[in-house]
Amino acid sequence: MLARLLAKDPDDRFADELVKVIEKMELEKRIKRFFKLFNPLPNGYSKGVKSSLGKDFKLKKSYAGAFLAVILALFFYIFSGHGENPPGLIANGQWQISWRKSAEQMKRLIEEDLGVSSSIAAVNPEQQEESLPPSVKKKVEQIKSLKEERPGVSPLIESVKPEELGKISQIKKPNIIQTFGSLYITSNISGANVFIDGESRGETPLDIKKISAGSHIVSCRHLYYSDQKKRVEIEQNVVSKKHFVFKKEAGKIIAFTNPENLNIWLDTKKQKSLSRLAIMIAPPGRHKVKFEKPGYFSREMTLDLGHKQILRLDIKLTKILPTHFYVSTEPEGAVVKILNIDRNFRQGMSLEPGKYHLLVNAPGCEPYKQWISLKGETEKKFSVKLTGLKKSMIGKTLTNAFGMKFVYIKPGSFMMGSPSGEPGHNRDEVQQHVEFSKGYYLQTTEVTQGEWRAVMGNNPSEFDNCGDNCPVENISFQDVQNFIDKLNQKKGGSKYRLPTEAEWEYAARGGTTTPFAFGKCLSADQANYNGNYPLSGCGQGPYRQKTVPVASFSPNAWGLYDMHGNVWEWCQARYGDSPPGSGTDLKGNSSDSGGHVYRGGSWLSDAGLCRSAIRLRSSGDSSAYRGAYLGFRLLMSRPLTNAGR
């Protein structure tokens, strides 16, 4: 290119001037100044650029200096006033055109030789920073930041003017290999949110398999604790581990209450209250708070308490107004009970808002049960229409002169005893098939205190204040025989006795094979027993600790009441290791040894002792064996031999 340029100067005036300029220039100094332009670049780039030039770096640097000298000589020749009209060069304006073309060719050569993408443009000295190209502005900003961070590091940085950067707008950067490491983050509170350099990455414990090497800001955040932040240095192919510790610092719940002196519970623990103010201190987390006072609706809430957080609550409870409750029944005179309260029902009784378990029962009708919700109404009226029992299941009923009611038990067969897998099973409950060729009448309820008094003229019961409709108790087997003898002497022609074990269990089951006539479980709403001890897998209920009036609960499918619980019931036979073997019309064990059997459980028994198959016996002399849990019911039939008495 230089040869072609000099060929256009026939008088050698340009060549002579060029030689003089080159001889006077300090080429090494110019070359060093040229390469110092790379100093403001980020650490490592200057070294990378120089290394990218290869082994011939010094040679290439000399060429670059030579070309730069040529360009400077051309500028010097034109603007120094030498040869105002150089012959052959400026004729017809061709000199300027040839000069520009040659300058462009030189510029491309320099770019190819240095490996630097440059734009050596003629920069007007008056050009302002605002008018510079975007690439130049970026370089200006880079120089400014370097001057702030490392003042005085390079004298060149202090002296570079923005317009000079127009000479180099872009530098071909060397290839940089990025390296990675791993990071494992844990915290003493699991589930903390992890942020790396402001970006959410997951929850602790967090295993990040690949993260760029270098410095990172890692922060852990949790709803109930203050944020934790650390700077982490990641090294190449190294697993870094960081553990964050959240400190538990309590928060406060301040409650202003109306009315005053409320009962306040924080997570089941009662809190102190100062008139209308309560201050509760609790660790960060989720808490349940309950406010209550008799005569007011209680209020419960769930609160999220943060690290050192203070929550203010304004609590106002609503006063409870009692509801007057009425129940009308069809047929009239049905017995109404509210099972989940201790009070007896009366029309217009006052009840606080809540849920109440209503039971309506009448002889010969299906019992009615329903949960009723009261919401603070002034008055609540409820109507119940009972339906009759299924006639196909209930036999004919008879009532004797003393008001005792009997139901006919139809002939049939059943499996007596219980399977070995039944909860509460005892070894004396051996299963055996029993068949009845004839039916019999069994009393629908236990003999009451009123019925006993009508025949015997006294009342031996411990719970004599329960009323005439409660079962008679505290009687021995012999006491029952005396009652039966006196009853059989009365006019009317009917004969009475105690049922055998088979007759009692056949009637108690009412066609079922489950532990109870009502299924696998016995509810305290179905029988009077110790509801604190239900059968395995069944729910608890109340323990009344006394007898209740007969027929207080629903009958079984054959119309018999209280075959489970209330009082144990004496049977005709004496006790054997197992009931008599399979057969028809079994009369029971007639041996003179062994105590007499009683069945069915009582108010004192757990559910396992109220099963249809349970068998207990008196100890010692049956004539003296009494208790507030022993009663009986009668079987009405034709005269029977005295076997088993």
User: pLDDT tens across 344-383, in order?
Assistant: 888 999 888 889 999 887 766 778 889 999 887 889 999 9
Long-range CB contact pairs, 492-497, < 8 A, 24+:
492/400, 492/401, 494/400, 494/636, 495/636, 495/637, 495/638, 495/639, 495/640, 496/634, 496/635, 496/636, 496/637, 497/572, 497/634, 497/635, 497/637, 497/640
> Which runs of E-coded beta strand occur in 543-603?
568-574, 583-584, 596-599
Q: State the pLDDT at residue 393.
A: 61
Q: Report the range of poorest mean pLDDT among 118-127, 189-198, 207-216, 384-393.
A: 118-127
Starting at the edge strand found earlier in the chain, the sheet holding 596-599 runs 616-617, 596-599, 568-574, 630-631
Most confident of 47-51, 147-151, 255-259, 451-455: 451-455
Per-residue confidence band for 95, with pLDDT thresholds at 50, 70 and 90: very low
Q: State the pLDDT at residue 130.
A: 54
Decide the pairing of beta strands 269-271 and 354-361. Answer: unpaired
Is the predicted pLDDT of residue 1 greater than 60, yes or no? no
User: Bridge partners of 231?
Assistant: 217
Q: Do domains 180-244 and 251-316 have the same CATH topology?
A: yes
Residue 546, number of CB atoms within 10 A of its CB = 15
Query: Cβ-count burial of 249 within 10 angstroms (0-12 exposed, 13-18 middle, 19+ buried)?
Result: middle
pTM value? 0.44
Mean pLDDT of 416-423: 92
What would the DSSP string read from start to end of 485-506? HHHHTSTTS-EEEPPPHHHHHH
Mean pLDDT (the chain, rounded):
77
Q: Report the range of poorest mean pLDDT among 271-280, 380-389, 617-626.
A: 617-626
Mean pLDDT of 414-426: 92
List, for residues 289-302, the tens digit of each pLDDT value: 999 888 788 889 99
User: Two tokens at 283?
Assistant: 């660790």
Q: State the pLDDT at residue 139.
A: 60
Pick the CATH number of 180-244 from 1.10.10.60, 2.60.40.10, 3.40.50.300, 3.40.250.10: 2.60.40.10
List, for residues 21-37, the tens digit of each pLDDT value: 455 554 445 555 544 44
Q: State the pLDDT at residue 609.
A: 95
Decide the pairing of beta strands 251-258 and 310-316. Answer: parallel
What would the DSSP string read from start to end of 165-215? GGG-----PPP----EEEEEEEESSTT-EEEETTEEEEESSEEEEEEESEE
Which candidate, 299, 303, 263, places its Cα nearest to that of 283? Answer: 303
Q: State the pLDDT at residue 644.
A: 35
Q: Please, what is the angle between helix 449-456 and helix 477-488, to 10°?
A: 60
Is the predicted pLDDT of residue 145 greater than 90, yes or no? no
Q: State the pLDDT at residue 98.
A: 47
CATH level 3 topology of 389-645: paralog of FGE (formylglycine-generating enzyme) (3.90.1580)
Per-residue confidence band for 547, with pLDDT thresholds at 50, 70 and 90: very high
List, for residues 219-267, the tens digit of each pLDDT value: 998 877 888 899 999 999 999 999 999 877 788 888 998 888 889 989 9
User: Bridge partners of 285?
Assistant: 305
Is the predicted pLDDT of residue 43 greater than 50, yes or no? no
Answer whether 565's CB lies under 8 Å from 546's CB: no
Is the predicted pLDDT of residue 100 greater than 70, yes or no? no
Backbone angles phi, psi at 151, to 5 degrees: -65, 135
Q: State the pLDDT at residue 73.
A: 59
User: Bridge partners of 361?
Assistant: 335
Residues 6+ apart with CB under 8 A from 356: 325, 338, 340, 341, 371, 372, 373, 374
Which has the higher per-residue pLDDT, 644 or 591? 591
List, for residues 476-523, the tens digit of each pLDDT value: 999 999 999 999 887 666 789 999 999 999 999 998 889 999 888 998
Q: State the pLDDT at residue 208.
A: 93
Per-residue confidence band for 217, with pLDDT thresholds at 50, 70 and 90: very high
Q: Is the peptide bond before 580 cis (omega within 30 degrees of 0)?
A: no
**Distance between CA 620 and CA 193 in Å, rounded?**
75
Residue spans per domain, the chain: 2-167, 180-244, 251-316, 323-385, 389-645
Per-residue confidence band for 580, with pLDDT thresholds at 50, 70 and 90: low
Q: Which CATH architecture has domain 251-316?
A: Sandwich (2.60)
Q: Report the range of poorest mean pLDDT among 2-11, 22-31, 421-430, 455-464.
A: 2-11
Which has the higher per-residue pLDDT, 180 or 587? 180
Is the predicted pLDDT of residue 600 greater than 60, yes or no? yes
Q: State the pLDDT at residue 20.
A: 53
* Helix (H) or strand (E) segment spanning residue 451: helix 449-456
Is the predicted pLDDT of residue 458 greater than 90, yes or no? yes
Q: Please, what is the angle between helix 57-79 and helix 13-24, to 10°?
A: 120
Q: State the pLDDT at residue 187.
A: 92
Q: State the pLDDT at residue 457.
A: 94
Is the predicted pLDDT of residue 41 greater than 60, yes or no? no
Which candidate, 570, 408, 402, 367, places its Cα nearest to that of 489? Answer: 402
Per-residue confidence band for 281, with pLDDT thresholds at 50, 70 and 90: confident
Place of tokens 């110790």: 530
Per-residue confidence band for 90, with pLDDT thresholds at 50, 70 and 90: very low
Percent residues over pLDDT 90 in the chain: 38
